[in-house]
Amino acid sequence: MPHDRSHALVLGLALLVAAPAHAQQFATIPAPAARETAVPQLAAPEIATDTLPVWERTLYKTLTYQAAANLSDLALYGVLLGGTAVAGAGFFAVNAVSAASLYYGFEYAWQTFGPPPEEKTNQTIAQKTVLFRVLNSSRNFALGYGFGGSVTVAAGFVAANFVTDTLIFVTNEYAWDVFRPGAPARSQITPSSLAVIRGRP
């Protein structure tokens, strides 16, 4: 029996020696990498912006505004100031040059230092309209006094012009918000489209 015990002891020692080697071998087997689903990096949606430079947009807005405003002013001149056709031609020329210069300078400064077209609201349009009316009413008073010859006639011209020109100014603002040229906006990614990209229902 001593021989059997020594044989069992040798076998046990051999197992103890081999165990760390097997453990190290299993430790070196790399674990399967977790499957990852690549999700593309999505850019934030981009709001359509005006593609025209400030000077060009201002020029076009001046032309559309003045086309209506000058005709309205000429009609008021004939009704309130009672001028002749010759004087009307002079009024039209002076009014067109002074009004276009004022509008272009005002609009260019507003677009340069004011809120961008994409951030325009009803409140900013109201503020812009009031500020322009103050400046333009002063010009109209000088124009009415110069061609009408009295403070009363000039004041009446300013009052009538305040109504008609305000409507033209506001209409021109909203029309340009609707029809102004813009860059194409990027399509917006929704949660449902993200799920499709990830391969999940």
Model pLDDT for residues 25-65, shown as the tens digit of each residue? 544 555 555 555 554 454 444 444 567 899 999 999 999 99
More confident position, 9 or 140: 140
Residue 175 token pair? 């029309």
Q: At what angle do helices 54-76 and 85-113 cross, to 10 degrees?
A: 150
Among 2-6, 11-15, 49-53, the range with the most confident prediction by mean pLDDT is: 49-53
- Is residue 82 very low, low, confident or very high in pLDDT (cuts 50, 70, 90)? confident
Model pLDDT for residues 88-128, shown as the tens digit of each residue? 788 889 999 999 999 999 999 999 999 887 788 899 999 99
- Is residue 195 very low, low, confident or very high in pLDDT (cuts 50, 70, 90)? low
Give me the count of residues in the chain. Answer: 201
| In contact, 178 and 64? CB cutoff 8 Å | no
The residues with which 50 forms a beta bridge, in sequence order, are: 182
96/155 Cα distance (integer angstroms):
20
Q: Which of 134, 191, 189, 121 is nearest to 166 (CA)?
A: 134
More confident position, 139 or 185: 139
| Percent of residues, the chain, with pLDDT higher than 90 | 44
pLDDT on residue 58: 94
Record the pTM.
0.64
Average pLDDT over residues 130-138: 96
Q: What is the DSSP string of 134-168?
A: HHHHHHHHHHHHHHH-SHHHHHHHHHHHHHHHHHH
- Average pLDDT across the chain, whole number: 76
pLDDT on residue 16: 52
More confident position, 50 or 151: 151
Average pLDDT over residues 60-75: 94
Residue 14 has pLDDT above 90, yes or no: no
